[in-house]
Amino acid sequence: MLMQRDNATLLVVDVQQKLVPAVVDPAGMIARVRWLLGVAHDTGLPVVFSEQYPQGLGHTVPELLAAAPAAPVVAKRHFSCVAGECLPDELLARPQVIVCGMETHVCVLQTVLELLEAGKQVFVVADAVASRSPHDIELGLQRMRDAGAVLVSREMVLFELLREAGTELFRAMSKRYLQGEQP
């Protein structure tokens, strides 16, 4: 099964100001999520941000919000976005959800497991998730894969959303996302 831009939404889970400094490679993770947000913008893929208890953990990192200013931001107290019943109907109407964010072994994991239970095709962007420990990232990804989520890279997202070379969009995206130093 391929990711399809008419069927998918990008869900950015809990990349919040007070938690980001505690994760492995925070600057790299933010840069990789920012890269994904650019791909989403350029391909017309809808985006949703979630925030875990923003009163305590702060809001989504401003540079990510700036990359998708029209995207809804939903707040939750449950670790899972599904259990928190905060996801917009537009996201739930699409059969595919592409997930990135943090923490891999807590909010991302619980959201992914419950999206799968709800019948969604879930793609976890393995190079755009983070936790405070590399071990927790590894175990979270393994558990999501074992449950039926598809682990993908950012480039897989890009190429599957584009689907073909030789178009103006492909040429523009290739220059922007595949040439030079990438996060």
CATH number at residue 95: 3.40.50.850
Residue 111 covered by a domain = yes
Q: How far is CA 12 from CA 17, 67, 102, 164, 180, in A?
A: 14, 12, 8, 26, 25
Q: How far apart are CA 53 and CA 182, in angstroms?
A: 32
Q: Are strands 47-52 and 73-76 parallel, antiparallel or unpaired?
A: parallel
Query: Which of 76, 81, 100, 120 is the catalytic position?
Result: 76
Flag whether the pTM goes above 0.95: yes
> What rounded mean pLDDT belongs to the chain?
96
Residue 131 covered by a domain = yes
Residue 183 covered by a domain = no
Residue 2 covered by a domain = no
Q: How far apart are CA 175 and CA 45, in angstroms?
A: 19
Residue 1 covered by a domain = no
- pLDDT at residue 182 tops 90: no
Query: Which of 14, 86, 100, 120 is the catalytic position?
Result: 14
86 in active site: no
Residue 167 covered by a domain = yes
Residue 52 sits in which domain range? 8-177
146 in active site: no
Residue 182 covered by a domain = no
Query: Which of 81, 86, 100, 107 is the catalytic position?
Result: 107
Q: What is the pLDDT of residue 126?
A: 98
Q: What is the pLDDT of residue 179?
A: 86
Q: By mean pLDDT, which of 24-38, 48-62, 163-177 is the weakest?
A: 163-177
The per-residue pLDDT for range 36-78, each reduced to its tens digit, is 999 999 999 999 999 999 999 999 999 999 999 999 999 999 9
Nearest to 161 by CA among 47, 14, 19, 80: 47
Specify the number of domains making up the chain.
Answer: 1
127 in active site: no
If one counts every other C-beta atom within 10 angstroms of the C-beta of residue 8, the result is 25
Which distant-in-sequence residues (6+ apart) come within 8 Å of 36 by Cβ? 10, 12, 98, 100, 125, 128, 154, 157
